[in-house]
Amino acid sequence: MLLDTPICDFGWKAPDFTLRDPDGKAYSLADSPGEKGLLIAFICNHCPYVVAIADRLAQDTATLMEEGVNVLAVMSNDYRAVPADSPANMTRFAARHGFVFPYLVDEDQSVGRAYGAVCTPDFFGFDRQGGLQYRGRLDDAKMRDATNRTPELLNAMRGIAETGHGPAEQYPSMGCSIKWR
């Protein structure tokens, strides 16, 4: 089922959390802000929208991390109902696409619910003080550059890193619904 996300609630403060990656290493929001901001991506392994952007996501987030924006990915789907999203498959998916950011398991789905995540992929871009400045998609499907994409997320996060403010016009994320228990 294709869903769109709500518009950005500028300045909303991200609730803290501690989640583990598939290997058991814990990551908390409080320990994760980058020097210039933080991107939290709600993704999963099986969603065709995520699969379609996974390589670009890896490329764009590696660039952002080099520029001082930290990145965390959260998998909130009920992986018992959707085994393709299991922690073991998360590890394989991350390796296949070259993710350099932590890919975390939201076992009880509390983080997805606290953030109001709606679909995968769902991107939340925060300024260095932890205020929400971007809620949107990876690319703007309505405007294309020479490579057949407009790097909406990359440009938005670079702007946030530079000015502390997200773009006034944002395009909602769209993708598969999060599989709640």
Compute φ and ψ for 105, nearest 5 degrees.
-95, 120
- Provide the whole-model pTM: 0.92
The answer, yes or no, to whether residue 115 has pLDDT greater than 50, is: yes
What confidence score (pLDDT) does residue 1 get? 54
Superfamily of 2-177 according to CATH: Glutaredoxin (3.40.30.10)
State pLDDT tens for residues 6-44: 778 899 998 999 999 999 999 999 999 899 999 999 999
Average pLDDT, the chain: 91
Helices (H) and strands (E) in the chain, counts: 4, 10
According to the model, what pLDDT value does residue 142 have?
47
Domain ranges of the chain: 2-177
